[in-house]
Structure 1
Amino acid sequence: MKRFSYLLCAYLFCLILPIGLSAQTISKEELVFLTSEWKGERFEDGRPKIPDNIVERAKAIGLDDAWTILRNMGYNNQFEDGWKLVHDDVTVVGRALTATFMPKRPDIEKSILERGHKQGYIGASNAWPIDMLQKGDVYVADGFGKVAGGTLIGQTLGNSIFNKSGNGVIFNGGARDLQGLLQIDGFNAFVRDFHPSFLEESVLMGLNTPTRIGKAIVMPGDLVLAEREGVLFIPAHLAEEVVLTAEFIVLRDNFGFEVIRNGRFTTGQIDSQWTDEIKEAFLQWLKENPSEGKMTREELDKLMEKRTW
């Protein structure tokens, strides 16, 4: 029995052995398994590839609406707050590329560095996730909340990240060179705090793996929506539905404000399940206001059918 338990543990450990990467990772097959609800295109590393147009449209939706939609779907552990930002007015939206750091242990760090350098990685391990970034990615790293000595980037790496991804970062840890980071136009970093120290006593232990950011679980490829009030990690397979529903909420509110103001319908009617009369009035309103968006009766019925917001 003991031998069986040992073999089982050894087998499970093998599932997360490095496959072509320097820090601990999971195989592409395992990542596909863990994100099996995703049925679309994937990156070579196995991450779900949310379509660019969905990522772009996500920049215009409200975080509060997206949070509520996810909660109503039963996804209660996707949000984390308590951040400090480089820019208060720069939203970060994109696909998550994840990294997990742990407190340094010399023997482990030695092995990881030796293997990484043989595979062509250069310098310290905190730069390696940056080498994997693609346009639209958001670098999401768990630095176990460390600030002093836990500064995962400064001005140099911040510029490198922005040049590769055109995007920002989410770090459960610290950053340095705030004044330098402020000069990167369009860049933002959500961190626990800023500190003048350099990164020390930390080692990269997970790359492109599931990770935890505070109270939230993050999978590689999740849609990151980060605004001043916090960060929401939307599972890839729900990204399109969340974005479409959030867009409809904005349309519904704009329509509702107008028809309530002119007395055509009451607040109670708009805030309840819509009658056929309201649905037809809404579709007509969209025709008369094409800049607001487009929607078919079928799409509207589908959204209203699931309505829990």
Structure 2
Amino acid sequence: MLPSYEEIVALTPLWEGERSVDGRPRVPDDDLEVLAGATAEHAWSVLDHAGYPRQYVGGWVQSRPGRPFAGRALTCGFVPFRPDHNEAVVRNGREHGFTEGGRQNTWVIESLGAGDCLVADIFGKIFNGTVVGDNLGTAVATRTGVGAVIDGGVRDLTGLRELDANFYFRDTDPSPIREVVLNTVNAAVTIGGATVLPGDVVLGTELGVTFIPPHLVAAVVQESKKTAHRDRFGKLRISERIYTTTEIDTGTWAEHIEADYADWTRVNPI
């Protein structure tokens, strides 16, 4: 249930950079900072080209709409309660220092660090599927500075809205979390049709959530910088009434606009 460092490395073999103490790929903080300003479209275009077209998931409720983030995924998966499986999980948890078998959602939260993003697959469960409320949400916000993506429910939304973090979830419910077992931590999980691995960069935007494989982050960062730079030029020229929106809002600029952009870039580099 709780994988070893070596098992997580084996699950994420394409990452060649630094890793967290648990084995997850550790994308640099500088890249996370750039990605926090990226759009879902920036990321998806790179992922689609690389053969990862199903990494975006929409249709969320957010605790802090308009607060984008980028964080490293710490994944967990819950399954419906089964007594014998629960006993095995509780035994495994005790071996790793987790003594509160009835509060397995806290095991994951206590494992979070700065820059992490909790990604919880609780199979869309809302009633008795509230992974966090405002108390555990405070722990998530304090530990990560990012937030969480929960394919299930939350409670105490008023309190969650006061936190300096953003929580993506399916719905709210006043019930506590019950009748589930923590099945996996830092393993592959499914969130709304996307496969998420530990260490993926979670890009939360106004539209939804994109799960970026760490070995593709550099390409997304580069594309995001390039696109933002071209957008800046295009909006400037539209505001100056040098070009029309029709001329700028197109997949391929005319040759004279590209030449103008090249000249402008020499003075305003990316």
TM-score (norm 1): 0.79
Match of 1:160 among 139, 147, 154: 139
The structure with higher relative contact order (CA 8 Å, sep 6+) is: 2
Match of 1:214 among 184, 192, 198: 192
SS in 2 for 1:98: strand
- Counterpart contact for 1:256–1:270, Cα < 8 Å: no
> For residue 265 of structure 2, what is the aligned residue in structure 1?
286
Structure 1: distance between partners of 2:237 and 2:114: 42
Match of 1:191 among 169, 177, 180: 169
Output aligned runs, 1:63-142, within 5 Å. 63-123=40-100, 124-142=103-121
Structure 2: distance between partners of 1:158 and 1:263: 48
Report the alpha carbon displacement of residue 70 of structure 1 after superposing the two structures with TM: 1.4
- State which drifts further: 114-123 or 97-106: 114-123
Gaps of 5+ in 1: 1-23, 296-309
- Counterpart contact for 1:99–1:207, Cα < 8 Å: yes
SS in 2 for 1:152: strand
| Code of the aligned partner of 1:189 | F
Match of 1:148 among 123, 127, 150: 127
Match of 2:154 among 167, 175, 192: 175
Match of 2:242 among 262, 270, 294: 262
- Counterpart contact for 1:150–1:200, Cα < 8 Å: yes
Structure 1: distance between partners of 2:11 and 2:95: 29
Structure 2: distance between partners of 1:143 and 1:206: 11
Structure 2: distance between partners of 1:41 and 1:280: 40
Aligned residues: 265
> For residue 31 of structure 1, what is the aligned residue in structure 2?
8
> For residue 202 of structure 1, what is the aligned residue in structure 2?
180
* Percent identity of paired positions between Structure 1 and Structure 2: 38
Report the alpha carbon displacement of residue 147 of structure 1 after superposing the two structures with TM: 0.2
- State which drifts further: 82-91 or 230-239: 82-91
- Counterpart contact for 2:81–2:179, Cα < 8 Å: yes
Change (3 A) 1:197 1:35: same
Describe the superposition over 1:276-295 as per-residue Cα deviations: whole angstroms up to 9, x where unpaired. Answer: x8666434313433xxxx34
Gaps of 5+ in 2: none
Structure 2: distance between partners of 1:235 and 1:108: 31
Structure 1: distance between partners of 2:236 and 2:142: 44
- Counterpart contact for 2:71–2:117, Cα < 8 Å: yes
| Code of the aligned partner of 1:219 | L
> For residue 272 of structure 1, what is the aligned residue in structure 2?
252
Change (3 A) 1:268 1:147: closer
Describe the superposition over 1:188-214 as per-residue Cα deviations: whole angstroms up to 9, x where unpaired. Answer: 211110000010001101001111101
Structure 2: distance between partners of 1:240 and 1:274: 29
Structure 2: distance between partners of 1:60 and 1:225: 9
| Code of the aligned partner of 2:22 | D
Larger strand proportion, structure 1 or 2?
A: 2
Bigger Cα Rg: 1
TM-score (norm 2): 0.89
- Counterpart contact for 2:154–2:172, Cα < 8 Å: yes
Change (3 A) 1:125 1:269: closer
Change (3 A) 1:268 1:195: closer
Match of 1:224 among 198, 202, 206: 202
Structure 2: distance between partners of 1:231 and 1:53: 20
SS in 1 for 2:131: coil
Change (3 A) 1:211 1:263: closer
Report the alpha carbon displacement of residue 32 of structure 1 after superposing the two structures with TM: 2.0
Structure 2: distance between partners of 1:114 and 1:270: 59
